[in-house]
Amino acid sequence: MKKYGIRAYVALLMLLPMLVMVIGLEAYFLHERYTGLDQELLTRGQLIARQLAASSEYGVFANNRIFLTGIAENTLQQPDAKAVLVLNATNAILARSGPLQRVDTAADQQRTRVNRDRPVFDDGKSLLLYQPILSTQVLFDEMESKPVVQQVGAVIIEMSWEATNKLKSDLLRISLWVTGVFLLLAVFLVHLASRRIIEPVTQLSTAIQAIGAGYLNTRVVASDRISELNTLAIGVNNMTVDLQQHYEHLEDLVRQRTVDLQQSDILTRHTLGELQRQKYVIDKHAIVTICSVDGLITYCNDKFVEVSGYSHDELIGQDHKIMNSGHHPKGFFKEMYDTIYRGEVWHAEVCNLAREGHAIWFDTTIAAFMGDDGKPREYMAVRTDITEQKRIEEAAHAASRAKSEFLANMSHEIRTPMNGVLGMVDILQETKLNSMQHRLLGTIQHSSQALLNILNDILDYSKIEAGRLDIECIATCPRVVAEEIVQLMISQAKSVALCVFVSPELPLWIASDPSRLRQILLNLLGNAIKFTSGVQGRAGQVSLNVRPCELDDGHAGIRFDIADNGIGIAPEVIDTLFQPFAQADASTARKFGGSGLGLSISRRLAGLMGGEIKLSSRIGAGSIFTLELPLIVAPDGAKEELNLTGINVLAVLRDAWSVEHVPAYCRTAGATVTVCADLNDGALDAESILLLGAGVELPEWSKKLSVV
C-alpha cells in the first residue's frame, strides 16, 4: 500500500472541508432549482387541464367532436403541451390531438386504473395529467331546488419534460464550471499555506529518522515560526538524551541477562535430565498415551505398544476406538469425556481389546492439559495392566457362586429331614401326653421351626447369590396380600395393635410376584412386631399402609409403609443393617433372635422385583420401613367398584390411626361419613349406618340401628 507524506495529508485536510462545502451548496442549489422546475411544469399542466376541462363541458355534453378537436389543438399551443385526449363519461375517446401513441396508452390505463384518486402519472419521459369534466345541474321539486354535480367526462394532457430537462442540463454545466474554478483557487491557496507548515515538520522527521537509526548525537533545530513545533523539537532533544542514557544502561542489563541465561540453561539441562529419568521409570512401570482433543493418539510409550500388540506407527494418528472391546455401555465413555472436558480427573477400570483379539483390563486415569482459554488442548492417560487381577477376581467370583450353589443344595438337603422332624412332632402332640412331655415337645417344635427358618433364609440367600432365584409376574391383589399377612401376624402381636390400610385408589389387581411380596412384608412386619413388643411406657402399635406413589424415575409405583413405635434404630447402624448377618447391635440376636439375613434377603428381593427398601428411624420413637415397587396394572386390574352413594355413615373412632384411614374407604365409595369419639343420640337417625371402632361398645338404646 502506497504511503503519503504529511504534506499530502495536510492538503487533504484543508481541501476536504472546502470541497464538501462547495459540493453541498451546489447540490442544495441544484436540488431546489430542479424541484422548482418540476413543480412549475406540474402546476402549468394542472392549470391547462382545468381550463381545457371547463372549455370542453359543452362539447362533451353535446357530443360535439369537431368543437372538442379544435379546443384540443388550441391547447397544444401552450408551452410543453405534447398531446391531448378528451373522454366522455364512459371513457370513450371524443377528441385527440398531438402524437397520440402514449395518449392512447394512457386512455387504456384510465379505463382500468386512472381516476380521481390517481390524477397524475409520471414515467420519467412525460407527465400525464387527468382532469374530470364536471357538470352542475339544478333539480327542482315542490319545496326547493338542489344543485347536482356529476362527472360527464375527462381530459388527459401529456406534458413534455424535454424543455425542463434541457434547462436542468444547462444549470448543471454552469454549476460544474463554477465548482472547478473554486477548486483550482483553493488548491493554490492550500499549497501556499501548507508549505510554511510542512518544512519544519520535514526537518523534524529527518532528525527523528536519524535518531531511530542509532545516531543518538543528532539534535533537532527549533522552529521560530510555529510554537508547537518548537516545543516538539525541545522534547525530542530531551528524549534523545534520555535514550542515550537508557541505551547505556540497557547494555549493562543485557550483559547481566546473558550471564543469567547461561546459568538458566545449565539448570534447564539438569531439569530435563531429571525429567528424562522420571519418564524412563514411568514408561517402565505404567502405560502412557497422549491424544488430541479429537481423540487421536499423538504419543504412546513402548509399554502400551507391548501390551496392545500394535506397532508404534499403527497407533499414532488412530482413535482409541480401535481397541474398543464393546464391554462398556455408550454412557460409560460419554461420562468420561464430560468429566475430562471440565478439567477434572477421570478414573475407572476399562476393558480394551488387543490386536490378537483377547481382552485387556486397564486401571485408567485420564486428565486434560488445559489451554489459556480454559478448554482442553490434549488429554493424557496413565494406565496399569490389571488383566491378571481381573482373572483372579473372576475365579474368586466363580468360586463364590459354586459355594453359594453348594450351600443352597445343602440347605435343601437339610431342610427335607427337618420337615420330617416337625411332622413327627405334630403327630406326637396329637397323642396322649403328660404336661412334661407337652413341654418337651413344644421345645423341640420351637427349636426345629427356628432352625428351619434359618435354613430357609440361607437357601434364599444362596439362590440370590447364585443367580438362581426366579421372580414371577402374575396378577396379584395387594389388598388381599396385605390383609392376609396382618391376619397371620395377629398371633405374634399379643401386646401390639396391628393396623392395615390399603388405599382405595389402587387397582384391584397388579402384576407382581405375590409369594416374594408376602415374604418381604412378613419379614418387615415380623421385625416391627418383635422390636415393638415389651416397650415400657406406651402401647405398642404397628401399621401397614399400602398406597400409590411416584418412583424416583417418575414412573407410577406402589408403596408399602410398615411403621412401628418400638425401640428405633441408631443412625450409625442404618447403612449396615441390610448387610448379611448384620444386627443393630451385638445383643440383638441374643435378646430377639434371628440370623441377620432377613433384611438383606428382603432388599435383594425388592431389587429383583424392580424396587427398593428405604428406612427412616429414631431411637426411642420407632421406625418406618418403606417398600416401593413398580405399579403395573394387571389386565383385570380395574379398581374395585363399591357404591355407597347416598348412605350416611356414623363412625365412632377413638384412635388417631382409625380416624385418618377408616373414613377413606367409605368416602371413596361415595358415602357421607361423620366421625365422632362417642355415641350421640342426637346425631343418629333410623337410616344411618353405625361403624364402631376398636374399644367402642354398642349401648342398649342404639341396637335398632344397622351396625358394622
Reported as a pLDDT band with limits 50, 70 and 90, residue 688 is low
pLDDT at res. 377? 87
Neighbours of 567 (CB within 10 A): 19
Bigger pLDDT: 470 vs 193 = 470
pLDDT at res. 113? 47
Q: Of 346, 357, 291, nearest to 320 (Cα)? A: 291
pLDDT at position 553 over 70: yes
pLDDT digits (tens, 9 = 90+) for 555-600: 999 999 999 888 888 887 777 777 765 555 544 444 555 556 778 8
Mean pLDDT of 466-470: 71
Assigned C-alpha cell, 221: 533545530
Neighbours of 653 (CB within 10 A): 21
Bigger pLDDT: 340 vs 465 = 340
pLDDT at position 105 over 70: no
State which H helix or E strand residue 33 sits in. helix 6-55
What sign results for the dihedral spanned by CA atoms 462, 465, 470, 473?
A: positive
pLDDT at position 258 over 70: yes
Mean pLDDT of 103-120: 56
pLDDT at position 638 over 60: no
What sign results for the dihedral spanned by CA atoms 683, 685, 690, 696?
A: positive
pLDDT digits (tens, 9 = 90+) for 311-357: 888 888 888 888 888 888 878 888 888 888 888 899 988 888 888 88
pTM: predicted TM-score of the whole model, two decimal places: 0.42
In the chain the first and final C-alpha atoms are separated, in Å, by 107
Assigned C-alpha cell, 506: 389402587
Beta strand 648-652 with 689-692 is parallel
pLDDT at position 308 over 80: yes
Mean pLDDT of 419-425: 74
Which of 21-35, 328-342, 551-565, 681-695 has the highest average model confidence (pLDDT)?
Answer: 551-565
Mean pLDDT of 73-81: 84
pLDDT digits (tens, 9 = 90+) for 378-393: 888 888 888 888 888 8
Which residues have C-beta within 8 Å of that of residue 695, sequence separation ≥ 6? Answer: 654, 655
C-alpha–C-alpha distance, residues 133 and 89, integer Å: 9
- Which domains occur in the chain, in start order? 6-139+146-168 (3.30.450.20), 286-385 (3.30.450.20), 396-463 (1.10.287.130), 470-630 (3.30.565.10), 648-704 (no CATH)
C-alpha–C-alpha distance, residues 51 and 591, integer Å: 128
pLDDT at position 61 over 90: no
Bigger pLDDT: 295 vs 700 = 295
pLDDT at position 691 over 70: no
Reported as a pLDDT band with limits 50, 70 and 90, residue 703 is low
Which of 95-99, 497-501, 574-578, 648-652 has the highest average model confidence (pLDDT)?
Answer: 497-501
Q: What is the DSSP letter of 638?
A: P
Reported as a pLDDT band with limits 50, 70 and 90, residue 115 is low
- pLDDT-above-70 percentage for the chain: 73
C-alpha–C-alpha distance, residues 342 and 132, integer Å: 81
C-alpha–C-alpha distance, residues 541 and 565, integer Å: 6
Mean pLDDT of 457-466: 70
C-alpha–C-alpha distance, residues 390 and 394, integer Å: 6
pLDDT at res. 146? 64
Residue 533 CA to chain centroid, in angstroms? 53
pLDDT at position 84 over 60: yes
Mean pLDDT of 112-124: 63
Mean pLDDT of 447-455: 70
The DSSP bridge partners found for residue 500 are: 544
Which residues have C-beta within 8 Å of that of residue 212, sequence separation ≥ 6? Answer: none
Which residues have C-beta within 8 Å of that of residue 79, sequence separation ≥ 6? Answer: 44, 163
Bigger pLDDT: 129 vs 545 = 545
Mean pLDDT of 170-177: 84
- Looking up cell 412549475 gives 40
C-alpha–C-alpha distance, residues 700 and 216, integer Å: 130
State which H helix or E strand residue 188 sits in. helix 162-212
- Looking up cell 408376602 gives 518
pLDDT at res. 646? 66
Reported as a pLDDT band with limits 50, 70 and 90, residue 37 is confident
What does residue 651 show for φ and ψ, rounded to 5 degrees?
-100, 115
Assigned C-alpha cell, 239: 528524549
Reported as a pLDDT band with limits 50, 70 and 90, residue 411 is low
The rounded mean pLDDT for the chain is 77
Q: Of 660, 702, 638, nearest to 508 (Cα)? A: 638
Q: At what angle do helices 514-530 and 598-608 cross, to 10 degrees?
A: 150
Decide: 433 and 574 in contact? Cβ < 8 Å.
no
What sign results for the dihedral spanned by CA atoms 161, 163, 167, 173?
A: positive
Which of 97-111, 186-200, 523-537, 581-595 has the highest average model confidence (pLDDT)?
Answer: 523-537
Decide: 116 and 150 in contact? Cβ < 8 Å.
no
pLDDT at position 106 over 70: no
Which residues have C-beta within 8 Å of that of residue 377, sequence separation ≥ 6? Answer: 293, 368, 369, 370, 371
The string of DSSP codes covering 295-364 is: SBEEEE-HHHHHHH---HHHHTT-BGGGGB-S-S-HHHHHHHHHHHHTT--EEEEEEEE-TTS-EEEEEE
pLDDT at res. 694? 58
Range name among 121-135, 158-172, 479-493, 677-691 with the lowest pLDDT average: 677-691
Which residues have C-beta within 8 Å of that of residue 567, sequence separation ≥ 6? Answer: 531, 532, 535, 619, 620, 622
pLDDT at res. 628? 94
pLDDT at res. 686? 57
Decide: 44 and 124 in contact? Cβ < 8 Å.
no
pLDDT digits (tens, 9 = 90+) for 645-679: 667 777 776 666 666 666 776 776 667 677 776 66
pLDDT at res. 558? 93
Q: Of 566, 512, 549, nearest to 628 (Cα)? A: 549
- Looking up cell 435383594 gives 604
pLDDT at position 228 over 50: yes
Assigned C-alpha cell, 62: 353535446
What sign results for the dihedral spanned by CA atoms 197, 202, 204, 205?
A: positive
